[in-house]
Amino acid sequence: MSAPNPECKVCGGSGMVQAPPDPPHPPSFDRCECALRKDILANVERGYPGLSVAPIIEKSPLLDQHTANVWVTTGQTFFSHRRHVAVRQPATWSFKVISDAELVTAWLATAGLGSGEIIDPDAYRVSTKYMTIPDLVSPPDLVVIRMGIKVARNVAAPEVLAEAINTRLHDRKPTWVWDSKASPLDAGSLFWSTEVASILSSFHRLGVTGNGGMPPGNSKTPTKKAPSKSGGMKGKKTLRGGGE
Ligand SMILES: [Zn+2]
C-alpha cells in the first residue's frame, strides 16, 4: 500500500478517514483517496511501466471494454486510452501488456521442455523468465497483446497467437489485441492464419472505418463485425487524437 500524502487536507496525512457510523458496530476507517490514488497509479505502472504518465484524455470508447475481447487498431494514442481504463479500476485489478515477440519466446520455452532440442531461429531468446504460454497469459484480469514487435519470421507465429488467445478464452478472461496501421494484423502479417482470423472475428473491433463511428484503422483487414456490441459505441469519442 502506498504512503498517504502528508499534505492531504482530508485525512491530515494519516491516510485513513472515518467511515460513516454503522451502530452497533464500532467506528471503522477507510483508506483516504490520497493513498488510494497512489495505489492505483502504482498498479497501472505494474501493468505497463510508464503508463501512469501517459497523456490524460477525457473519454475512451475502451472504458467499458475491460471485460470484453477487443481488437483495436490504433497508434500511440492507445497508451492514453489504456491509462484511462486502468486508472478507473481498483488497485487489485491486474493487467499486462504482452508483445507478440514475448509470446513466441514463451512458446519456445514450452517446446524446449518436451523435445530437449530446439531448432528454431528464435531459440536464443528463450529464457527462464516464462515457462509456458499459459504461465504468461493466464494470470492477469486483462491481457493486451501488442502486435508488430516481432519482425523476424517464425512459422509457428500464428499458432502461438491462436494458443495465447484460446487460453484466455478458455479461462473466460478478456484479451485486447492491439495492432497498428503501420504493422497491421492482416494477411500480410507473420501472425496471420485462417484460425487467427476466425478467433478474432468474434472480437469487438475498434479503429476500423465504418464501425460505430470509429476512425479508420486498417481497412484492408478482412473482418467480421462483432454482432451486437459495435452499435453501442456510436457517439462516443474516437481513438483519433494523436499520431500513429
Ligand atoms: Zn488523505
User: What is the CATH number for 84?
Assistant: 3.40.50
pLDDT of residue 208: 65
Q: Within 13 Å and on the Cβ side, how many CA atoms surround 147?
A: 30
Residue 222 is predicted with a pLDDT of 42
Model confidence pLDDT, tens digit, residues 46-69? 999 999 999 999 999 999 999 999
Say yes or no: 39 and 81 in one domain.
no
- Same domain as 20, residue 59: no
Q: Same structural domain for residues 67 and 124?
A: yes
Interatomic CA distance for residues 134 and 130, integer angstroms: 9
Please give the C-alpha separations between residue 192 and each of 170, 222, 225, in angstroms, as whole numbers.
Answer: 21, 11, 18
Residues 6+ apart with CB under 8 A from 155: none
Does residue 75 share a domain with residue 1?
no
pLDDT at residue 126, rounded to an integer: 57
**What's the Cα-to-Cα distance from 165 to each of 6, 18, 79, 174, rounded to whole Å?**
44, 44, 21, 9
Residues facing 175 on adjacent strands:
143
pLDDT of residue 206: 92
Assess contact for 165 and 175: CB atoms under 8 A: yes
Are residue 111 and residue 61 in the same domain, yes or no? yes
Cell numbers standing for residue 102 = 514475448
What is the CA(59)–ligand 1 centre distance, in A? 26
Find the 164 Cα to ligand 1 centroid distance in Å: 41
How close is the Cα of 162 to the center of ligand 1, in Å? 46
Q: Look at the chain and report how many structural domains it folds into.
A: 2
3-state secondary structure of 136: helix
Same domain, 34 and 83: no
Instruction: Judge if 152 and 195 occupy the same domain.
Output: yes
Q: Are residues 42 and 144 in the same domain?
A: no
Q: Give 228 Cα–ligand 1 centroid separation in angstroms.
A: 43
Same domain, 35 and 129: no
Three-state SS letters, 184-198: CCCCCCCCCCHHHHH
Splitting the chain (244 residues) into consecutive groups of 10 residues, what average pLDDT does each group show? 86 90 85 90 92 92 94 91 93 93 85 58 57 88 96 91 97 96 93 97 81 40 42 41 39
If asked whether residues 33 and 132 sit together in one domain, one would say no
36 and 60 part of one domain: no
Ligand 1 mean position, distance from CA 28 (Å): 16
d(CA 192, CA 243): 25
Range of the domain at 153: 53-244
Residues in the chain: 244
Cα distance between residue 210 and residue 230, in whole Å: 10
Looking at residue 68, its pLDDT comes to 97
Question: How far is ligand 1, taken at its centre, from the CA of residue 6, in Å?
Answer: 8
Tell me the H-state helices in the chain: 33-47, 78-86, 100-115, 133-137, 157-170, 194-200
Task: For residues 13 and 119, state if they share a domain.
Answer: no
Scan for cell 479508420, then name that residue. 216
Whether the link from the prior residue into 6 is cis, omega within 30° of 0, is no
